[in-house]
Amino acid sequence: MAASAAATGGRQLLLVLSALGLLASGAPQPPNIVLMLMDDMGWGDLGVYGEPSRETPNLDRMAAEGMLFPNFYSANPLCSPSRAALLTGRLPIRNGFYTSNAHARNAYTPQEIMGGIPNSEHLLPELLKKAGYTNKIVGKWHLGHRPQFHPLKHGFDEWFGSPNCHFGPYDNKVKPNIPVYRDWEMVGRFYEEFPINLKTGEANLTQLYLQEALDFIRTQHARQSPFFLYWAIDATHAPVYASRPFLGTSLRGRYGDAVREIDDSVGKILSLLQNLGISKNTFVFFTSDNGAALVSAPKQGGSNGPFLCGKQTTFEGGMREPAIAWWPGHIAAGQVSHQLGSIMDLFTTSLSLAGLKPPSDRVIDGLDLLPNMLQGHTMDRPIFYYRGNTLMAVTLGQYKAHFWTWTNSWEEFRQGIDFCPGQNVSGVTTHTQEEHTELPLIFHLGRDPGERFPLSFASDEYQDVLSRMTQVVQRHQKSLVPGQPQLNVCSQAVMNWAPPGCEKLGKCLTPPESVPEKCSWPH
C-alpha cells in the first residue's frame, strides 16, 4: 500500500510539474507570484459572491477567467494572526501569534504588544529567495513593529507601507503614532505626511499602493527576474477611506467606495500583467485576512453574505473569506472549487510554484492547492478555528462543530460593541464564554450556512459526525506544540518604547500574575 501511495503521489507531482512546464528541457524560470490580501473584506462584498450592487467588475472578471473558492478560510478572525499564518503556513498557535493571558482573547495594538514574528519561523519570502525571487510587500505588515521584526529582516527586499493599520487614535485623545516606511526609512506618518480625512473619508493611500505594485512589476519584468508581490492594502479596515475620484460613487456608501477603488486597482494590475505578456507566467490570488468587521457596520463595515457574525468571532462570518485564483493558460476559466481552503495554503502553494518544498523540521498546516487548481483533485482536511489559545471550532467536510461559543462580553455589548448586529441566535451567539466540549454544537454548513439550527444531539447524524470530529481533534491536540505567545500584553508601550526591564520579550511572556509590576499589565 505504501508503494502504491508513493506511486500515486509521484504521478500527481509529474502532472503538476508538467502543467507548470517544468519538465521540459531548458525549463523557464518559475512563475511570478502575486498575493493580494485585503483587510476586513467580507465574503459577500464581491458581485461574484452575490453582492447585489455588482460594483466589482474586475474581481468578477478575475473569477470568470480563473477559479473561485467559496469555501476558503482565514486561520484566525483577526488581522495579525492570519497574516502570520499566511507567511509561515502554520496556525497562529504554532507560530506564536496568539495570547495565553486570557481565555480565547484576541488582541494586537502597537501601544501594548511588544511581540512579533519569531526568528525561528521560516517566512515565505525567505524561502522564495532560494529560487531567485525578488520580494516586495506593499501595505500592512502587522507582524511586529520593533526593529527586529522589520519585514526586510524576514525575506522581503522592498517595502512600502506601515507596521500596523491606519486606525486610531489609540486613546481617542491624540493622533496615532503610526509610521509609514519605504524599505528601512520612515517617510512619514498616517494622518500627517499621509493624510486621511476622517470626516470625508478621503485618502490617496490606495493609489499610492497601486503605483508601488505597478512600478515593482515593471521593474522586475525588465530585469527578467521572478518576483513575489505581497499586496496587503488596508482600505476596507475602518476608518474606511478612498481617493477623491471614488468617493460618493458607490451605492453602498463609503465602504463601497473603498471596494470600488480596490476593484479598479486589481483590474489595473491584471491588465499590466497582460500588457507585458507575463500573465501566463504570473499566479495571482485574491483574498482577505478575516471577515468583515460588522462592529463598524453599516457605514464602515462590509458584508459576510449569508454567514453568521463577523471579524473577531469564529463563526463563519469571521473566518470564511472571498478567494479567487487567476493564472491564464494554467487554471481553466470559469472554475469553482469546493475544496476547503485556508490562507495557510498560499504558503505551501507558492513554494510548490517555485519548485521548493516546505520546511521538513516543523508542522506545516497549509496544503498545496495546485493539484486542485490544475487537475481538480479535492483533498480532505479539517479547518481549525482558534481564538487566542483556544480551539473554538472545527469544520470537516460540510460539518462544523463548536466546542466553545462567544461573541463578545456583556460589558462590551452594553457599550454598543456588537460583532453580530441583528444576528442573535439563542445559545449560539453567547456573550459569556460557553463550553460545549462534551456535546459540541454541530451544524451542517451546506443546509445551514448561517449556523442557526444545530443538529439534534440524539440524531444518528450527530453521533456519526461527533465520532469523526473527536478523532480529528484528538490527533490535532496530541501533536500540537504551541509556539511562544507573541501577543501577550507586555506594556502600555507607545510604538518602539518599553519600560526599563521590558525590552526583552521573555520578560513579559508569562501569565499575568507573574509579570513584574513595572511591565504594567493592563486588566
Of residues 479 and 101, more confidently modeled = 479
Report whether 291 contacts 311 (CB < 8 A): yes
Active-site annotation holder among 103, 122, 142, 490 = 142
Query: Which pLDDT belongs to residue 110?
Result: 64
CATH number for the domain running over 32-379: 3.40.720.10
Report whether 78 contacts 104 (CB < 8 A): no
Per-residue pLDDT band at 523 (split at 50, 70, 90): very low
pLDDT in tens, 158-187: 999 999 989 865 555 667 778 999 999 999
Query: Which pLDDT belongs to residue 323?
Result: 98
d(CA 47, CA 188): 36
Of all residues in the chain, the percent with pLDDT exceeding 90 is: 79
Q: How many helices (H) and strands (E) does the chain have?
A: 12, 19
d(CA 68, CA 64): 8
Contacts of 85 (CB under 8 A, 6+ apart): 74, 75, 76, 91, 92, 95, 97, 342, 343, 344, 365
134 pLDDT exceeds 50?
yes
Question: What average pLDDT does the segment 146-152 reach?
Answer: 94
519 pLDDT exceeds 80?
no
Backbone angles phi, psi at 6, to 5 degrees: -65, -40
512 pLDDT exceeds 90?
no
Report whether 23 contacts 17 (CB < 8 A): yes
225 pLDDT exceeds 50?
yes
79 labeled part of a ligand binding site: yes
142 counts as catalytic: yes
40 labeled part of a ligand binding site: yes
165 counts as catalytic: no
pLDDT in tens, 333-389: 999 999 999 999 999 999 999 999 999 999 999 999 999 999 999 999 999 999 999
CATH topology of domain 390-479: Arylsulfatase, C-terminal domain (3.30.1120)
Question: The dihedral of CA 140, 143, 148, 152: what is its sign?
Answer: negative
Per-residue pLDDT band at 521 (split at 50, 70, 90): very low
Grid cell for residue 104: 480565547
Cα–Cα–Cα angle for 425, 430, 434, rounded to 5 degrees = 125
Query: Which pLDDT belongs to residue 436?
Result: 97
Active-site annotation holder among 79, 490, 502, 519 = 79
Mean pLDDT, the chain, rounded, equals 88
Domain boundaries, the chain: 32-379, 390-479
pLDDT in tens, 19-31: 554 444 456 789 9
Per-residue pLDDT band at 133 (split at 50, 70, 90): very high
